[in-house]
Amino acid sequence: MRRGIRGVTATALVAGLALAATACGGGDSSDGAGSGGELSGTVTFWDTSNDAEKATYRKLAEGFQKEHPKVHVKYVNVPFGDANAKFKNAAGGNSGAPDVMRTEVAWVADFANLGYLAPLDGTPALDKTDDYLPQAVGSTRFKGKTYAAPQVIDTLALFYNKKLLKDAGVEVPRNFAELATAAKKIKAKTGATALYLRGDDPYWFLPYLYGEGGNMVDARDKVVEIDDGAGVKAFKTIKSLVDSKAAVTDATDGQENQLRALKDGTVAMAVDGPWDIEGARAGKSFKDKKNLGVAPVPGGSTAQGSPQGGWNLSVYAGSKNLQASYAFVKYMSSAKVQQQTNEKLSLLPTRKSVYEVPAVKNNEMVKFFKPAVDGAVQRPWIAEGNSLFEPIKVQMNKVLTGSATPEQAAKATGDAYRKLLKDYK
């Protein structure tokens, strides 16, 4: 899951006072700490959820204290846009890094590669691993070891304003060509623009790329693929959507602008993920919650696909309180907490068993998003996975503002990848 860069906050971070977990014996060890000691001390947890979600996450995290009264959970919300850099600064400098962090799926391999994460194999953190969706496990593994526990899974979908589409008399578009056609009717009948196109965040480029049958890189054969024909076509699609006024876009603040446009009804559709369900429903267009429709991301000329995203829980290798951190990860990725996350925020669980719970099963958003997630495209889980985005961002900006042609943009992105991935063709 990726969201718009949110700007720098001045959250002051103080490293929690950490105590060894093994000191005082005698307690019951239902936590599976292994040493027979009762868990104690502080677990600092960096949460990256957004404004609409963070209150729920804080409550859930602090719920851990009910099970382990001697452990203090220090909850810190770190905006998504800053979290990666902040963690690297803290972990590399060995001061102020959290014990547990909610880590984006593409960050795990990167952090693990740099030695910042504790391997979790054989620790209490990994519990009932057979219960995890296989695609959720993919991003937690790096070079044969497991570095994270999956917490939520997601993908992109097309959010649409049912009323606006109905007023315009158009069906939900199945591909971008249909969307472009429908756009004229929508504009004429309702005055709204058809689509908000996130031009500021490269994650949103992937459906266009997958829609042409393309990919960023082929990690198995070590080939850069983004500069082939599919990549060029993908850049062409976004350019023509904006040029034909079927879509509006921004080079900055896309997260806020997109959500606002959707909520206010100035756009009829937006490609978005489950993390914005709560935020969208707070808007005036969706006072009637049923007005928010969700459909698969439109396809391209040859295929249909959206990237698989989500969040994992990882433990900092330098944590002074590893046992309690493992237990905290186990708790936060447990079926119980995942169910609560779903009930409150409609976020998708990573455990198969949670999908069997009636309340989850009947959740409208789950009904839609679960099949979408099952069909989502896994990204290359390589250490440089997260760095593959920046070149796309620069080039999609350039294409949308007309300072590069789709051909030039695809080539420049491919060149940047080869510079980054030295052994790739």
Partner 1 sequence: MVAPVVLVIGVIIGYPLVRGVFLSLTDANEANVERNIGVNHLPATYKFTGLDNYRAVLSDSVFWDRLGWTVLWTVGCVSLTFLIGLALANMLNRTLRGRTFYRLALILPWAIPAFISVFTWRMLYNEKSGILNKLLAGGGIDAVPWLNDPTWAKLSVIAVNVWLGVPFMLVALLGGLQSIPGELYEAAEMDGAGPWQRFRNITVPGLRAVSSTVILLSTIWTFNMFPVIFLLTRGGPGDATEILVTYAYRLSFIDSPRNFSESAAWGVLILVLLSVVAVVYRRALRKQGEVW
Residues of this chain that bind partner 1 (CB under 8 A)? 5, 7-8, 85, 88, 91-92, 94, 110, 113-116, 118, 199-200, 248-253, 257, 260-261, 266, 316-320, 383-384, 386-387, 390, 393-395, 397-398, 400-401, 403-404, 420
Cα radius of gyration (the chain): 22
- Give min distance, CB of 2 to partner 1, in A: 14
Whichever of 322 and 357 has its CB closer to partner 1, that residue is 322
For the record, the structure tokens of 46 come out as 């960096």
- Burial 317-354, CB ≥16 within 10 A → b, else e: bbbbbbbbbbbbbbbbbbbebbbbbbeebbbbbbbeeb
Nearer Cβ to partner 1 (254/274): 254
Q: What is d(CA 348, CA 133) in angstroms, rounded to the nearest whole number?
A: 11
Rounded-to-integer distance, Cα 262 and Cα 280, Å: 7
Please give the helix or strand (H or E) that residue 355 lies within, else none.
Answer: helix 352-356
User: Nearest CA to 306 among 229, 208, 230?
Assistant: 208
Q: Which is nearer to partner 1, 233 or 393 (CB)?
A: 393
46 vs 57, beta carbon nearer partner 1? 46
The 10 Å Cβ neighbour count of residue 387 is: 15
Closer residue to partner 1, CB minimum distance, 24 or 85: 85
| Residue number with CB closer to partner 1 (62 or 253) | 253
Cβ at position 272, least distance to partner 1 in Å: 17
Phi-psi region at 148: left, alpha or beta (left = phi > 0; alpha = psi -120 to 50): beta
Compute the least distance from the CB of residue 264 to partner 1, in Å: 9
CB of 411 to partner 1, least distance (A): 13
Q: Could you tell me the smallest distance in angstroms from the CB atom of residue 7 to partner 1?
A: 7
User: Residue 104 Cβ, how far from partner 1 at the closest point, in Å?
Assistant: 12
